[in-house]
């Protein structure tokens, strides 16, 4: 199986109108926040600790994203398909610690999320991975026991549904960021990766109609500064419609940059807006 450990900034290349191609850079932290907003409005209600855990399950990336490393092959920050495992494990630990602050179940599901990604990857038998997985098995067992003692009315089935909800919301948000088409010729940045196969398999429970994309250009410099979509979904899994979701991203011309500072100087703010609606 292809490696699933390469998680970092979301980088998407787009060719819009007649302009030169641009890169969009979306924060993993913001992508997770969108996941949490989806769960907060999910038709099956989840407790606040689960919603907060999902909304903050990538908080460990905040420090890395403040000064991201560039992939020297292309001169742009590593995307989540390129991140080295050594960096990923450190950041995952930070994300798990952030989630644990919301309670033992919150820590359990976020640790389980990354545990499953690593265990299902082709790096699972490497010494660092084996040690990390062993440590997380022990701490997850302790956290689940703590939660079960304190939440007697709750069943273990709820814990399992919460774990699955994190994966569903994460992949739902990932589809919006990576795959939501701008035009018919738009291709997925996930391509044939294992993450693409996982996303496609899970998202089969939903049917996405043809999203209507609006490109917003600046009137002063004729530069594209935002994209907004109406995304028909059947069945719509949320209690409200339309459900607006927003990410404030960065855009920059596709080029081989020498440093993050050089890329920042060439970049501008870029707003992404999705409105989930029922399919007619």
For 186-211, the pLDDT digits (tens) are: 555 555 555 666 667 666 788 888 88
pLDDT at 6: 32
C-alpha to C-alpha distance for 41 and 30, rounded to whole angstroms = 17
Largest CA distance in the chain: 61
Is the predicted pLDDT of residue 4 greater than 60, yes or no?
no
The whole-angstrom distance between residue 276's C-alpha and the CA centroid of its chain comes to 17
More confident residue, 270 or 151: 270
For 14, half-sphere exposure in the C-beta direction (CA atoms, 13 angstrom radius) is: 25
Q: In this structure, what token pair is assigned to residue 104?
A: 């033992």
Rg (CA), the chain: 19
C-alpha to C-alpha distance for 14 and 261, rounded to whole angstroms = 22
pLDDT at 243: 96
C-alpha to C-alpha distance for 23 and 39, rounded to whole angstroms = 28
Q: In this structure, what token pair is assigned to residue 234?
A: 């059947």
Identify the CA nearest to 136 among candidates 155, 157, 119, 158: 119
Q: What is the mean pLDDT of residues 13-17?
A: 81
pLDDT at 152: 65
Its pTM stands at 0.89
3-state secondary structure 106-135: HHHHHHHHHHHHHHCCCCCCCHHHHHHHHH
Burial degree of 75 (CB within 10 A; 0-12, 13-18, 19+)? middle
C-alpha to C-alpha distance for 214 and 277, rounded to whole angstroms = 16
Is the predicted pLDDT of residue 7 greater than 50, yes or no?
no
For 63-107, the pLDDT digits (tens) are: 888 888 888 889 988 876 676 677 789 889 999 999 999 999 999
What percentage of the chain has pLDDT greater than the value 90?
Answer: 56
Is the predicted pLDDT of residue 183 greater than 60, yes or no?
yes
């Amino acid at each position: 199986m292809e490696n699933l450990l390469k998680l970092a900034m979301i980088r998407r290349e787009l060719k819009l109108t007649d302009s030169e191609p641009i890169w969009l850079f979306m924060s993993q932290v913001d992508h997770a926040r969108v996941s949490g907003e989806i769960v907060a409005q999910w038709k099956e209600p989840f407790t606040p600790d689960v919603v907060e855990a999902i909304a903050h399950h990538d908080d460990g990336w905040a420090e890395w994203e403040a000064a991201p490393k560039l992939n020297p092959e292309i001169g742009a920050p590593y995307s989540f398909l390129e991140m080295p495992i050594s960096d990923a494990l450190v950041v995952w630990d930070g994300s798990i610690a952030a989630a644990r602050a919301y309670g033992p179940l919150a820590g359990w599901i976020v640790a389980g999320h990354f545990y499953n990604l690593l265990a299902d990857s082709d790096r699972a038998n490497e010494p660092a991975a084996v040690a990390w997985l062993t440590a997380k098995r022990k701490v997850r067992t302790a956290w689940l026991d703590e939660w079960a003692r304190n939440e007697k009315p709750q069943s273990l089935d709820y814990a399992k549904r919460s774990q699955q909800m994190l994966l569903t919301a994460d992949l739902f948000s990932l589809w919006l960021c990576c795959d939501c088409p701008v035009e018919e010729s738009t291709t997925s940045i996930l391509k044939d990766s294992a993450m693409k196969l996982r996303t496609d398999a899970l998202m089969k429970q939903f049917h996405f109609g043809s999203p209507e994309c609006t490109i917003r250009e600046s009137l002063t410099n004729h530069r594209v500064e935002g994209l907004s979509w109406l995304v028909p979904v059947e069945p719509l899994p949320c209690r409200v419609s339309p459900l607006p979701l927003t990410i404030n991203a960065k855009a920059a011309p596709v080029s081989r940059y020498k440093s993050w500072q050089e890329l920042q100087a060439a970049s501008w703010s870029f707003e992404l807006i999705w409105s989930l609606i029922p399919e007619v």
